[in-house]
Amino acid sequence: MTSIQDNLTAIRSQLVECEKKYVRMPGSVLLLAVSKQQSIENIAQALEMDQTHFGENYLQEALPKIAYFKDKIAWHFIGPIQANKTRKIAEHFQWVHSVADKKIAERLNDQRPDHLPPLNICIQVNIDQEPAKSGVVIEELFPLAEYCRKLPRLNFRGLMAIPEAQKNFSAQKLAFSKLKAQFEKLQEKGFMVDTLSMGMSDDWKAAVSEGATVIRIGAGIFGARI
Ligand SMILES: *Cc1c(COP(=O)(O)O)cnc(C)c1O
C-alpha cells in the first residue's frame, strides 16, 4: 500500500470508532477526499481503495481531473464561487458546498443541464462571523434558504462551514454545535435538509460528535500541502 492508501485506511477505521463513540449510525458520515493540489496519480490511488467522493476548490484545476476520471468519481465543489465559473460548475459537479448568495444560486439553477439531476447544494455559513471568510452570516441564512428551496434545478441539502481553527476539542465542538443548531432550525421550519458538511483534517472528530454527515479531509489523506 502507498502512504495515501495507508492514511485512508487509518482514517476509515478512526471514523468507524468515532461513529461508535458518539452514537452515530454506522456509515452515516461520508468521507469526502479533498484533492486540491493533488495529481491524477494521487487521486487514482485513493480511487483504487473505493474512495469515490472528492472535493475541489478551483474550477480550472478540477476540470482536467473530472475529464480524466469521468463518472467514476462524484465531484463536490467546495471553494468560493465567482459568477463567471457557475456554468462549468453546474455542468461538471454533483455537489456544491459553498453557495453563499442568491445570484450564484440562481445562475447554478439556470445553468444546470437538463439531462442531469438537480444539483445538490449546501449553503456555506460564516459561523464565527469572521470578516475575511466566505459564507452567509446567520441573519442571511433563512432568506437564502427560502430562495434556494424554490429553485427547481437545485436540491437544497444542508449547510457547510469552515470554523476558525481551534486546537482545543471543546472549542471545536462549540463552533460545530452552532452550525448544527441552524440545521435543526431549518428542519423545524420544514426544510428537507439532510447534510451537515463540517470538519477537516484537524477537527473532524469534534464535527462527527456534533452531527456532521460529511467530513472534508485533504491533508489527512494526501499529506500536508506545500
Ligand atoms: C482545503 C479544504 C479542506 C481540507 O482541509 P485539510 O485541512 O487539508 O483537511 C476542507 N474544506 C475546504 C473548504 C477546503 O478548502
**pLDDT score recorded for residue 132:** 87
> How high is the mean pLDDT in each 10-residue block of the chain (226 residues)?
95 98 98 98 98 98 97 98 98 98 98 98 96 94 98 98 97 98 98 98 98 98 90
Q: Is the CB of 199 under 6 A from ligand 1?
A: no
Q: Is the CB of 218 under 6 A from ligand 1?
A: yes
Ligand 1 atom closest to the CA of 34, numbered from 1 = 4
**pLDDT score recorded for residue 7:** 98
CB count within 10 Å of CB 117 equals 9
| Three-class secondary structure of residue 55 per DSSP | strand
Could you tell me which residues are beta bridge partners of residue 121? Answer: 96, 156
pTM passes above 0.95: yes
Buried b (16+ CB within 10 A) or exposed e, 59-94: beebbebbeebeeebebbbbbebeeebbbbbbebbe
Q: Is the CB of 163 under 6 A from ligand 1?
A: no
Three cell numbers, residue 85: 465559473
Q: Are 32 and 51 in contact (CB under 8 A)?
A: no
Q: Is the CB of 78 under 6 A from ligand 1?
A: yes
**pLDDT score recorded for residue 165:** 95
